[in-house]
Amino acid sequence: QKEVEQNSGPLSVPEGAIASLNCTYSDRGSQSFFWYRQYSGKSPELIMSIYSNGDKEDGRFTAQLNKASQYVSLLIRDSQPSDSATYLCAVLNSGYSTLTFGKGTMLLVSP
Amino acid sequence: GAVVSQHPSWVICKSGTSVKIECRSLDFQATTMFWYRQFPKQSLMLMATSNEGSKATYEQGVEKDKFLINHASLTLSTLTVTSAHPEDSSFYICSASGGGAEKLFFGSGTQLSVL
């Protein structure tokens, strides 16, 4: 059973701080990793994708991947109250075209 | 960007009735659509993969006779929850692939409440 693990949180940070979200996965063959943001009662929206070891930056977001440790993270700089949501880590299953999602980490950014 | 329309957004029904949920890709052809279910504070669980013109592939533990999936065209997939029961109450989300996981677009979701 392929698993994706995330700390459910909530992770509370003050406005302007850096939020760090973490994810581990069990499928060593996975090559593609995604971070989604989901507001309560809404469907997920893609924030970042990462495929290679190292960092990938897009605006205030940085995804980090370490395949040897089977670890993916998402950093949000200058956190805003509007960033308050649940962040889902998703892993593309090796050999398939389906995604396995983690349970998500709830982020709360206080003004 | 690409749009996936899902309808209805929410539905309340009596136990024993059937509910149909539609998922449409509005500006692209989706050969593959996915149906997920999400319980409160849980992850999205893949229920089935729907391929246009062929039978859906169901994940382990999902009853194919209860959750009927039809993907009759490249822009429409439907999920019918037959003889719904309170334990089927959940948030159902479809997604459509425009080619690869990078181009996976989600519908707005359907909140099903079975009384």
3-state secondary structure of B39: coil
Task: Indicate which of A3, A98, A100, A105 best probes the interface with B, i.e. most B CBs within 10 Å of its own CB.
Answer: A98
Q: What is the pLDDT of residues B61-110, one digit of tens each?
A: 999 999 999 988 889 999 999 999 999 999 999 999 877 666 788 999 99
Residue A84: what are its φ and ψ, rounded to 5°? -65, 115
Query: Which amino acid type is present at position A43?
Result: S
Spell out which residues of chain A touch residue B48, defining contact as CB-CB under 8 Å: none
Cis peptide bond N-terminal to B8, omega within 30? yes
Work out the angle at residue B39's Cα, subtended by the Cα atoms of residues A69 and A28, and round it to the nearest 5 degrees.
Answer: 20
User: Which residues, given as ranges, of chain A have pLDDT below 70?
Assistant: 1, 96
Q: What is the pLDDT of residues A54-64, one digit of tens each?
A: 999 999 999 99
Burial of A42 (0-12, 13-18, 19+ CB in 10 A): middle
- Looking at the partner chain, which of A43, A92, A100 has a beta carbon nearest the beta carbon of B108? A43
- Looking at the partner chain, which of B42, B101, B107 has a beta carbon nearest the beta carbon of A99? B101
Spell out which residues of chain B touch residue A49, defining contact as CB-CB under 8 Å: 101-102
Measured between CA atoms, the residue of chain B closest to residue A34 is B102
Work out the angle at residue A42's Cα, subtended by the Cα atoms of residues A36 and A46, and round it to the nearest 5 degrees.
Answer: 20
